[in-house]
Amino acid sequence: MTATAASAAPLTDQQLERYARHIVLKEIGGAGQIRLLGAHVAVVGAGGLGCPAIAFLAAAGVGTIRVIDPDIVSLSNLQRQILFGTADIGRPKAEAVQSAVALLNPDVHVVAINQRLEAANAAVLLRDVDVILDGCDNFETRLAVSDAATLLRTPLVSAAVGAFDGQIGVWRGWEAGQPCYRCLVGADPERPDVNCADQGIVGAVTGTIGSMAALEVVRALVPFGEAAIGQMLIADFMANRFRTVRVSADPACPACAAESVPA
């Protein structure tokens, strides 16, 4: 028996083969794979960002994925929401995700929550998970997710796209000196929501950013390398450039300033 197989003893032969490309990585290995299989991740929004993110998380063997989305699949979603097929039109997205993931990986349990996440229910819907991934399409929900993540002390991977750009941030606002997502965007309730319906989007843009968000979730769970905590990775697909900007914690932030504890 090799050292790798010995350290991955609780994995079945099928799992050793399915996750072989993880297990061979020294950064993940059998121990990391076991951690992924035991992990619980919440994904807010099963749209253009959520679909590719969930696909990669499910393929990676993230054991439990809680999918929160109140919408049903429509024909115009299929241009980018790659977990769905034509036959899913009219089905609740969270349930259609459950069916798609069941085909992809029987190791993964999807908890489908066909409900709108709001400030009033966010802390309940997001409790008891290891990482939260936000790929929703509106500002109000993003703030509700961020505030709950800070309160619950759960790492938040937040992803967003514009027509030809995207942003990803990893937020741990309860740690001393660390900003939360609200520190970045403020609380302007009048900020207009621009979404794909108004603006248009290339499916591969949401696919790229959603996949990168999945990578940050896997990184947070295993972990490895350098997470972009308190930073925004900004992708400009028109100019084909990526850049990273550091975000400062707002000492007056109503969400994270009072929550901050020494790291």
Is 180 a binding residue for Zn ion by CB under 5 A? The answer is: yes
Q: CB-wise, 165 or 259, nearer to Zn ion?
A: 259
Shortest distance (Å) from residue 261 CB to Zn ion = 14
In terms of CB distance, is 32 or 173 closer to Zn ion?
173
**Distance between CA 113 and CA 4 in Å, rounded?**
37
**Residue span binding Zn ion (CB under 5 A) among the ranges 71-79, 91-99, 178-186, 190-198:** 178-186
Q: Is 129 in the site for Zn ion (CB under 5 A)?
A: no
**Nearest residue (CB) to Zn ion, 92 versus 155:** 155
Interface with Zn ion by CB under 5 A: which range of 44-52, 94-102, 109-117, 180-188?
180-188
Q: Which stretch binds Zn ion (CB under 5 A): 29-37, 129-137, 194-202, 245-253?
A: 245-253
**Nearer Cβ to Zn ion (36/160):** 160
166 alpha-carbon distance from chain centroid? 14
Question: Does 22 engage in binding with Zn ion (CB under 5 A)?
Answer: no
Residue 219 contacts residue 212 (beta carbons within 8 Å): no
Q: Is 253 in the site for Zn ion (CB under 5 A)?
A: yes
How near is the Cβ of 147 to Zn ion at its closest, in Å? 9
DSSP 258: T
In sequence order, which residues have a C-beta less than 8 Å from that of residue 246 and are 6 or more positions away? 230, 231
**43: contact with Zn ion by CB under 5 A:** no
CA distances from 247 to 122, 145, 180 (A): 24, 18, 9
Strand order in the sheet with 109-113: 109-113, 64-68, 40-44, 131-134, 156-161, 165-171, 231-236, 241-246
Residues in contact with Zn ion, counted by CB under 5 A, come to a total of: 7
Check: CB of residue 63 under 8 Å from CB of residue 109: yes
Which residues partner with 167 through β-bridges?
A: 160, 234
183 belongs to the binding site for Zn ion (CB under 5 A)? yes
Q: Indicate whether 256 belongs to the interface with Zn ion (CB under 5 A).
A: yes
**Contact letters for Zn ion, residues 138-177 (x by CB under 5 A):** -----------------------------------x----
Helices (H), the chain: 3-7, 13-18, 20-23, 29-37, 50-59, 93-104, 122-125, 139-152, 181-185, 196-199, 203-221
The verdict on 182 binding Zn ion (CB under 5 A) reads yes
Give residues in contact with Zn ion (CB under 5 A): 173, 180, 182-183, 253, 255-256
